[in-house]
Amino acid sequence: MPKTASIFIGLALICTAGWVTQCPCDRSPGAWLFGEIVEDSVEDWSFANQAGLCQLEVTGVIPHSVNLNCMADESELFISCARCDGKYWSTRAMESPHGRIKILDSVYPVKMIRVLDNVTLDRAWRARANKRRDRSPENSVPPRPSHWWSFRLESY
């Protein structure tokens, strides 16, 4: 094998190893999530509101992970996105609902269930606004856009 090919292969392996162990990064997706695996069932997800963003891993030949909003309302955990239709992670979540979420430094196995009823969608939207302090001057939550999706996550 020529020396330049060996160098190229070595650099590709180093870059791939860095990507696998460090991402998702900002808007770049990653693969496996690393952290302390919590196998115990979670009944109260309110601690998720202490995290800025969470990282979600969906299944595939190689897992796919992304940074996204996560928020708890009462004891339930929600993840959300704008214009989710056609995004890789949301499509995979509906096809294969078992995945993992990383909150702070811990990774939790979860089942992702798309929320379709308006009452629960509004509750998740309010939880998002409360977490982000995304309120108008008169302290009201802005209206939920129709293109906003939410998934409820259940521990298993």
Per residue in 92-108, pLDDT tens? 999 999 999 999 999 99
Of residues 19 and 151, more confidently modeled: 151
Q: How confident is the model at residue 54 (pLDDT cuts 50, 70, 90)?
A: very high
- 63 C-beta neighbours (distance < 10 Å), count: 17
H or E element that contains 151: strand 148-155
Share the mean pLDDT of the chain: 86
Domain boundaries, the chain: 3-155
Q: How confident is the model at residue 60 (pLDDT cuts 50, 70, 90)?
A: confident
H or E element that contains 88: helix 88-95
Does the domain at 3-155 match CATH 1.10.357.10? Answer given as: no
100 contacts 154 by C-beta, under 8 angstroms: no
Structure tokens at 65: 């992970």
Instruction: Please determine, for residue 21, whether its predicted confidence score (pLDDT) is greater than 80.
Output: no
What is each CA distance from 138 to 122, 134, 141, 142, 144, in whole angstroms? 19, 11, 9, 11, 17
The widest CA-to-CA distance across the chain, in whole angstroms, is: 68
Q: How confident is the model at residue 18 (pLDDT cuts 50, 70, 90)?
A: very low
Nearest-angstrom CA–CA distance, 45 and 32:
22
The pTM for the full model equals: 0.82
Q: pLDDT at position 19, please?
A: 43
